[in-house]
A and B are shown apart, each in its own frame.
Chain A
Amino acid sequence: MSAESLSAGRQKAPRLQPDWWRKTLAAVLLGFPLALVITGLFAWAGPGGIAATDKVQFNMWLLTLLWLLGLSLVYLFRSGNQALLWLGGANLLLWPLFLIVRGVMAG
């Protein structure tokens, strides 16, 4: 366990808070819309566009994978509030962008 003692001794950074409830809620309630909006951007503006044959199936798998990654990596945030802040901020940033892209491309 030398790796542990090294990194613990090197810096006295603020400890990682488990904050189970907040982080889990952030990943479930904010992580899903975030995964959805990224998938949406990929669906409209990504290769093949919205009408590519069978791409909808790929998109559904992509949505699932993104959400699962969000759920499993959310505990790396330093605190629950940080998770809420970052995931919420990303949603606020990407949703208007997605709505514009969808509006323009759907014509």
Chain B
Amino acid sequence: MKVSSDILRVYKALHTWVGIGTGLLLFIGFFAGALTMFKQPLDRWSAPPAQQLAMVKSNELDTLVSGVMQQFPDARQQLVVHLESAEHISAPVEWQSQDEDGGHGPDLDGEHWHATLNAAGEVQAESIRPSMLGDLIDLLHQTAGIPGTVGHEYLGVQILGLAGILYFLALVSGLIILLPTLVKDFFLIRRGKNRKRFWLDAHNVIGITSLPFHLIIAFTVVVFAFHDSFYGSLKAVVYQDTPMFGAPPAAGERPQARSVDQLLPPTELIRRIEQAAPDFKVTELVYMQVESPRPIVRAGIYNPQYLVRGPLTGYVGINPYNGELTMTGMLPGKSNVWSDIVVTFFALHFGSFAGEWVRWVYFLLGLSGAFLFYSGNLLWIESRRKKQKRGQPLPQQARNTRLMAALTIGVSLGSVAGIGFAIAAGKWGHVAAVADINSLYLQVYYLVFLLALTFAFMRGGARAAVPLLWLCALASALIPVTSALAVLMPSTGLWFYNSAATLAVDFTALLLALAFIFAAYRTQRGLQRANADTVWYIEETGHKAEPAGIGAGS
């Protein structure tokens, strides 16, 4: 396809600058995002067995829920009822003490409770500090680790939203500059002498083959970050007095607050939901504000055959007093074309459709996306290289390319190593009786990340790359090693689960460790062969000390 050279020139420049401006933020977002595909397995892997309370039989559920609602006013704000058991689900019901700060995102310092029934059939409740590993990785995915809030939004989410806009531009411009040679370049990776060609081919092939995925991610990220403002604009200009989200209840029939002893039993709610959605399995009930005028129970309903709006399940709402279903858009036959389209975008971001294998595909797409940004940065550095001309002295490489090499190596490998160490640290911290595991996750991540970044700047990208790749290998390896130690030396207090989900965590971490070892070897070989006129050239200290000529004579 013909594209004028003027357009190519402008869009090449655009691609370069939006790419280099956002690449590292997106790298962290993609790597952590790939891990969120297995948020539940990671939570199951890290959950300590000591905190488990017994699950209850379905006929005991009604007693438990009504008992907790009566005795614990906090549970009336929000109570989660788990209907399936797994390692990370510590009890059939859990809730949090209500604190003032509100806001969304994981509440790390709030007091959590969980409860079951004891042998006498009485409510047995305990205060706990659950591990929120999965939520924290999710937060890292959404904010790229940038701390702070603006109003009630995370600063990092807003920054990634801006990065998402630039990322969309990078995708469109990348497509435009590839159009003239699209067919020729497709699936063509030229190996061999020219290393730049290899990186460029790999960047192009991955970019083109996963373009639909990337377009969806860029688009949804912008929506997730800025939907409040966009709805605000629609309200101000388009809708004005027309209600945007359904008509409010008429003044006369405003429902009044009810008392918790009038709640329908949970088994009755489940029966009604299953009647309306016979193909789905109800996985959890979340009671929300049951004493308010708008009480609702949000039920998670699961069937991999359907596209769903949540990261894992679809949702249906039910009124806990009269059993009336609300938010039925998810149910077969009850949906409309608008919500179908919107749900599709959510599902395409979360990979929550067609079951487990799509999660693996999304995991790989996430990792390959991270590689796309990494390779983009390397190409930026390469294209700014000052080549040595024949017979001329070695040129000094520009300062900004050396800094970008250090930044790329430090940020990308530092975040990978940080996540790995943080995951493993959860179990070791529990053994060492660290009271606040969630703070430990954060401290370990930021410590490793900042140390790696400092190391990369002190030694330069070339000298830091191989040690940091080994650090990533070590971090990944610690995950299965911790599990292996639990089996071999149970006296350490470490624990190990043999469910398929948690074994997959160990196995995947092991594969990643091997991949990093391979990358470390390859990088080392590459660096040894690096031309002297690149930022990747490592001068041998012995030669450097001696002026040329003296060494040659001896």
Contacts and interface: CB of A to CB of B under 8 A. Distances in A.
A52 to B, nearest CB: 6
A36 B336 contact: no
A16 B242 contact: no
Most buried by A among B5, B165, B222, B241: B5
A53 B180 CA distance: 44
B4 A16 contact: yes
A89 interface: no
Interface string B231-266: 101100111111011100000000000000000000
A1 B1 CA distance: 11
B29 to A, nearest CB: 18
A97 interface: no
Interface in B1-44: 1-11, 13-14
Interface in B356-393: none
A68 B234 contact: no
A44 B234 CA distance: 12
Contacts of A29: none
B11 A75 contact: yes
Contact of B238 (A5, A13, A39, A71): A39
B237 A7 contact: no
A47 to B, nearest CB: 8
A53 B407 CA distance: 48
B446 interface: no
A1 B234 CA distance: 45
A57 B165 contact: no
B245 to A, nearest CB: 7
A68 B10 contact: no
B10 A54 contact: no
Given A36-B233, A63-B234, A73-B172, A58 B341 contact: yes
B537 interface: no
A64 B222 contact: yes
B168 interface: yes
Determine the main DSSP class of B at the interface with A.
Answer: helix
A67 B13 CA distance: 21
A15 B233 CA distance: 37
Contact of B342 (A50, A52, A54, A65): A54
B342 A57 contact: yes
A5 B173 CA distance: 20
A17 to B, nearest CB: 9
Contacts of A36: 233-234, 237-238
Interface string A19-36: 000000000000010001
B226 A76 contact: no
A86 interface: no
B431 to A, nearest CB: 47
Contacts of A75: 10-11, 14, 173
Nearest to A15: B6
A6 interface: yes
B169 interface: yes
A44 B239 CA distance: 9
Contact of A18 (B10, B165, B168, B329): B10
Nearest to A51: B242
Contact of A7 (B5, B222, B339): B5
A3 interface: yes
Contacts of B223: 60-61, 64
A47 B222 CA distance: 25
A4 B5 contact: yes
Contact of A52 (B11, B181, B241, B338): B338
Interface in B217-234: 218-219, 222-223, 226-227, 230-231, 233-234
21 contacts: A3-B2, A4-B8, A4-B180, A15-B6, A16-B9, A48-B338, A50-B242, A51-B242, A56-B234, A57-B342, A58-B341, A59-B238, A63-B230, A64-B230, A71-B169, A75-B14, A75-B173, A76-B7, A102-B238, A106-B241, A106-B242
Interface of A: 1, 3-8, 13, 15-16, 18, 32, 36-37, 39-40, 43-44, 48, 50-61, 63-65, 68-69, 71-73, 75-76, 102, 106
Interface of B: 1-11, 13-14, 165, 168-169, 172-173, 180-181, 218-219, 222-223, 226-227, 230-231, 233-234, 237-242, 244-246, 329, 336, 338-339, 341-342, 345
Give the 6 A-B residue pairs with the shortest CB-CB distance, closest first.
Answer: A16-B6, A72-B172, A54-B339, A40-B238, A3-B180, A54-B338
Given A43-B238, A68-B168, 7 more contacts: A1-B181, A3-B2, A7-B5, A61-B342, A64-B226, A72-B168, A75-B11
